[in-house]
Amino acid sequence: MELFNPYNNLNLWIKHTFLSFAQGYFSLDSRYTWKIDARETKLIIADKFAVDLGVIEKRPAIILSRGSFGWTDTIRGQDGINAVLTSKRVDTLAPPPHGDRWLDFVFTDFLRGSITYNILSKNGIEAEDIANTLFTAISGYKREFQKYGIHTIKGLSIGDERLVKTTSEIEAVGITVSLSFTAQRTIEKAGKLNNIVAVMQVPKETTTGTIIQDVNLYENIDYRVINNGTTIEFLNPPSAETIAINLSFVDAITLDTVLSPLVGDFDADNRTYTVSGGTVYGYYVLSEGVVMSGSVYNTDDLGNLFTTTSGLTDTGLPALEETFTSIAT
């Protein structure tokens, strides 16, 4: 089965590199210990929009935010065929290559971008302590980032302390640790940039006996991802002969590649299956509806105020208003 490779997706590669560093470092910290189990961790470390910020009321968090990034156009000769003065991105003196040369196109250049760690806590001293720990850790491990493709880290800084509304009711202290980076990346032809790979295993009869055949399944054709990345719903139920359906996907919390089977009965009737081993990245519902509440005046056709019992008849009792709740989805 083909694994989803986050290194083929520049966005996820950048996030994975800096997010996994913070998670790995704080997994060894005795005070603010990070654990993958949200019920046991003392510190939430996740990508932006991957968690409900209401949890800040119970424990501090480091929320990763990726800034914009782009090519620096530093390296010349992007044809991959001994072309020192030819570039597909920059006008040069050399004549443009023909189609056969673009067939084996290799592009290598530096990426320049920025990352911001948002440290959130109900306690200002705690937020300062976590921010200082992270700032010091990145400062000390700059060279280690080079092993994972980050060429340089510059402009590392800690922002000032400020109040942040994590929800409409909860305020927290927020401190940023920000940095800029450069990284060299090479692109050869095209990468597969989907977040999930699904393969169905079914028996197949051959002249030599029964073998297990892998059948690729395609998102929005064979299935769709629902319930914030926790459930797979098939257009047609998998057959009762299905042995297993294996997924390879990027986890929404750790950004690691996860290989796990779907959980559910293969009975030719069931269409929904549970994703095991994590949550598929990129399927967050930010808003499911709008709730409105207030008061309205009840009147008859002549404008006289009245109240109703079960909304059916006039009780004759004087009343000015009646509460209501309306949900728009």
What is the per-residue pLDDT across 277-299, written as a single tens digit (0 to 9) for each?
888 887 765 444 555 555 545 55
| CATH fold for the domain made of 6-188 | STM4215-like (3.30.2000)
Q: What is the pLDDT of residue 175?
A: 93
Is the entire prediction scored with pTM above 0.75?
A: no
The residue among 134 and 7 whose pLDDT is bigger is: 134
The DSSP 8-state label assigned to residue 39 in this structure reads: T
Mean pLDDT of 7-11: 74
CA dist 137 → 91, 142, 145 (Å): 42, 9, 11
Cα–Cα distances in angstroms (integers) from residue 228 to residues 54, 256, 311, in the given order: 17, 17, 38
| Span 225-253, pLDDT tens digits | 888 889 999 989 999 999 999 999 888 88
pLDDT number for residue 76: 58
pLDDT digits over 20-57, tens only?
Answer: 999 999 999 989 999 988 888 999 998 887 777 667 67
Under the banding of pLDDT at 50, 70 and 90, the label for residue 72 is confident
> CA torsion sign, 22 to 24 to 28 to 30?
positive
pLDDT (0 to 100) of residue 105:
57
Question: What tokens were used for 191?
Answer: 């990468």
Instruction: Please give the pLDDT value at position 256.
Output: 84
* Count of alpha carbons within 13 angstroms of residue 56, beta-carbon side: 29
Give the torsion through C-alpha atoms of 157, 158, 163, 167, to 10 deg: 70
Structural domain spans, the chain: 6-188, 196-275, 290-328
SS3 256: coil
Count each helix (H run) and each strand (E run) in the chain, helices first.
Answer: 4, 17
